[in-house]
Structure 1
Amino acid sequence: MSSIFSKIINGEIDSYKIAEDDKHIAFLDAMPLVKGHTLVVPKKETDLIFDMEAEDYKDLWAFTQDIAKQIKKAIPCKRVGIAVVGLEVPHAHIHLVPLNSIEDLNFKNVRLIFSADEYKEIQQSIINA
């Protein structure tokens, strides 16, 4: 079954893409916890991250590391946190969240909403980092 992430990967749903290669895509979370909250997704649809083939799993984390470094350069924060939850979308993905406190990674927090121009500004700052 096609997930919302598959629809983003296939261009059926717009996103604020940060980076893409033949196996992965990174884009801004549509309802972020904080400015710069990014999702990193393998293009191959797999529900559980630990069900990925070992080589694909390693490649995903290498791609994620590069994106996290870009976020750290672009968004003022102490560090970039990582969360793999997997409950909200049945497609493996990694949350990269700029952190200034542990509360920034609390998924019970009210999600932020930005204008299209603000999303584009955040997107460009990460791409340019």
Structure 2
Amino acid sequence: MSTLFSKIIDGEIPGRFVWSDEVCVTFATIAPITDGHMLVVPRAEVEEYTTADDELLAHLSVVAKRIGAAQQRAYGAPRAAVMVAGFEVAHLHLHVLPAWDENALRFDNARPDLPAEQLDAATEQVRAALRENGHGANVPPEMSSPALG
């Protein structure tokens, strides 16, 4: 059975994509802790971090680094944070978000009720910063599509 994230990747459920390659995609969470909070998700349905092979984890880490650098550029954040939790969806994913301090990095700070316009604007800021950082080839042509650019 497909996971929620596989359905987003396959276009069955809408998503706001900022990155796409052969191995993974990155899209905005619907309950961001900070503006620009993204999820780096492998295309393969790997259930959890500790069962993923090292090559996949290395690739996800490199993509998370690029997403984090774009978030820092877009939001002027002093840090980019990466968290692995995975309790809400049984499909490996890295939370990457611009961060100003450790106190903010709690899931009880998530904002599930933001208007779509605010989520769209935050996603576009990260997409633009990825292009500015030289990663335009991995930014999908349409925010709602995981297809390669």
Same fold (TM over 0.5): yes
1:63-82 map, 5 Å: 63-82=63-82
- How many pairs align? 129
Give the match for residue 104 of structure 2: 104
**Cα RMSD (Å) of the superposition?**
1.3
Q: Per-residue deviation at 1:22?
A: 1.1
Structure 2, unpaired ranges of 5+: 130-149
3-state secondary structure, aligned to 2:55: helix
8 Å Cα contact 2:25-2:41 kept in structure 1: yes
8 Å Cα contact 2:31-2:110 kept in structure 1: no
8 Å Cα contact 2:19-2:26 kept in structure 1: yes
Structure 1, unpaired ranges of 5+: none
Aligned partners of 2:44, 2:29: CA distance in 1, in Å? 19
Give the match for residue 60 of structure 2: 60
3-state secondary structure, aligned to 1:32: coil
Cα–Cα, structure 1 residues 126 and 106, in superposed 2: closer, same or farther, change >3 Å? same
Letter in 2 for 1:72: Q
Provide, for residues 87-121 of structure 1, a one-character-per-residue CA deviation record: whole Å limited to 9, x for no partner. 11100000012111212211122525332222221
Q: Per-residue deviation at 1:123?
A: 1.2
Aligned partners of 2:69, 2:113: CA distance in 1, in Å? 24
Give the match for residue 40 of structure 1: 40
Aligned partners of 1:109, 1:71: CA distance in 2, in Å? 18
8 Å Cα contact 2:34-2:110 kept in structure 1: no
1:73-92 map, 5 Å: 73-92=73-92
User: What is the TM-score with the length of structure 2 in the denominator?
Assistant: 0.81
8 Å Cα contact 1:32-1:113 kept in structure 2: no
8 Å Cα contact 2:35-2:98 kept in structure 1: yes
Give the match for residue 19 of structure 2: 19
Letter in 1 for 2:104: D
Aligned structure 1 segments of 4 or more residues deviating by more than 6 angstroms: none
The share of aligned pairs that are identical, in percent, is 30
User: What is the TM-score with the length of structure 1 in the denominator?
Assistant: 0.92
8 Å Cα contact 2:34-2:98 kept in structure 1: yes
